[in-house]
Amino acid sequence: MTGRVDGNLWRGSSAVRVEAPPLTANADADLVIIGGGFTGNAAALEAARRGASVIVLEAESVGHGGSGRNVGLVNAGLWLPPRDVVAQMGQEAGLKLVGLLADAPRLVWSLIEREKIDCDATPNGTLHLAHSAAGLRNLEERHRQGVELGAPVQLFDARETARRTGSRAFHGSLFDPRAGTIQPLSYARGLACAVIRAGARLHEQTAVSRVERVGDHWQVMANGHKVRARSLLLATNAYFNGIEIAVRPQFVAVNYCQFATAPMPKPLRAEILSGGEGCWDTALVMSSFRTDREGRMILGGIGDAGGRGAAVHAGWARRKLRQVYPQLAGLPFEYSWHGRIAMTSDHIPKIVRLGPSAYACFGYSGRGIGPGTVFGTRVAASLLDGCENGLPVAPVDNHRERLAAMRAAYYESGAVLVHASTGGYA
């Protein structure tokens, strides 16, 4: 099924529907969750399956944030290579996070299977593509570090990379068979349906306006009604909006835009990413490539497709497609959309303690499918058990990002400059 809805391909092609009426009365629960993306829904599912009463409040509709706008790469690990994670966090904490996130795709694939989520799950691996000789050296180092930790990653030369991608633009690639692709909005909606089946209450069109501690409970105001709960999870990531709360999540907002072509003709589908791998490259201002069920090529890059640089990003996408895939030069783009990534300075996701039995999880820095699922699941368990040992990162009382607005503008103008001057790799 395909239909155009606000330019976001995932909205047009998702067959999963969620029934979640707005909140219309005061309510009580063990756990209240703000935000209906991967993190909030994974947390709600875990808590409801453990027998807790759970209420999820979503300002718009499930997947309105990053979860319904992303590329759909189910990656193992973070952007940072394992050594850098350990350098940031220390040996024990770093290796714990690396280990948990290496296993994140397995958790995602198993949830999809258990809950029978119709989200085009394609666990056929990802290719990290070397855009230059230096990019290949970077992949060689990532390969070395991965192998050291027992990851089943493989380094491919330019020839094998060309055979798999159908493009001669790359110097080589790093293949990760643990990873793959999904239709991200369908995954978010499928999780939400599982949440409802597990007995939790989910309310869309329910914007939270205030969160406060009242006595020994959390009190959340939404749609003019009160929700009281023993525990609280703020799962709004880059889409935090309009909430009066003592501790606000801090991050740098970075935009990422995507362009989907009309379906490729059959012979080209057999030539281009026919194995279904999802791809991104080693460039500083990175690009991503993947196909969907209908054989569309989906090209992505840093930048705000709805902002002042929109024309530059659209022009870049045209040139980039022509340079990486000359075979597709004549194919029109039928969808374009963008979303906000919550970046942290050290690229490590954060868990911030908001008070007794309350956390905010955010800052996945563009890697939120696996990490959001892992963080949501583990935070729910911790809130119910009252024990922080299982959390992927140690919670902090606050997290500050200096000059966040200025750094966000810097990322956007950098992307505009690069996209104005180039389409492919010199």
Ligand X SMILES: Cc1cc2nc3c(=O)[nH]c(=O)nc-3n(C[C@H](O)[C@H](O)[C@H](O)COP(=O)(O)OP(=O)(O)OC[C@H]3O[C@@H](n4cnc5c(N)ncnc54)[C@H](O)[C@@H]3O)c2cc1C
Binding positions for ligand X, rule: CB under 6 A: 34-40, 57-60, 64-67, 69-73, 75, 207-208, 235-243, 256, 339-341, 364, 366-370, 372
> Minimum distance from CB of 100 to ligand X (Å)?
14
| Closer to ligand X by Cβ: residue 167 or 236 | 236
> Minimum distance from CB of 71 to ligand X (Å)?
3
> Minimum distance from CB of 411 to ligand X (Å)?
13
d(CA 121, CA 74): 9
> Minimum distance from CB of 265 to ligand X (Å)?
26
| Closer to ligand X by Cβ: residue 47 or 341 | 341
Note whether 382 and 388 are within 8 A (CB): yes
| Closer to ligand X by Cβ: residue 62 or 264 | 62
> Minimum distance from CB of 68 to ligand X (Å)?
7
In the numeric block, which tokens belong to residue 218? 């959390």
> Minimum distance from CB of 326 to ligand X (Å)?
25
| Closer to ligand X by Cβ: residue 170 or 364 | 364
| Closer to ligand X by Cβ: residue 321 or 343 | 343
Note whether 57 and 235 are within 8 A (CB): no
| Closer to ligand X by Cβ: residue 16 or 341 | 341
HSE on the CB side for 345, CA within 13 Å?
A: 10
Q: Where are the alpha helices (DSSP H) in 4-132?
A: 9-13, 38-49, 82-89, 91-102, 104-114
Count of C-beta atoms within a 10 Å radius of residue 33: 32
In the numeric block, which tokens belong to residue 191? 């999780």
Note whether 419 and 314 are within 8 A (CB): no
| Closer to ligand X by Cβ: residue 126 or 327 | 126
d(CA 423, CA 200): 47
Mapping DSSP to helix (H, G, I), strand (E, B) and coil, where does residue 315 land?
A: helix
> Minimum distance from CB of 91 to ligand X (Å)?
25
| Closer to ligand X by Cβ: residue 139 or 185 | 185
Mapping DSSP to helix (H, G, I), strand (E, B) and coil, where does residue 340 land?
A: strand
> Minimum distance from CB of 26 to ligand X (Å)?
17
In the numeric block, which tokens belong to residue 347? 């690229």
d(CA 231, CA 219): 10
Closest CA to 35 of 349, 182, 228, 249: 249
Which residue sits closest to ligand X, CB atoms considered? 368
Closest CA to 396 of 350, 344, 342, 347: 350
Q: Which amino acid is at 48?
A: A
d(CA 362, CA 323): 36
Q: Which amino acid is at 310?
A: A
Closest CA to 66 of 338, 287, 382: 338
| Closer to ligand X by Cβ: residue 77 or 327 | 77
> Minimum distance from CB of 330 to ligand X (Å)?
26
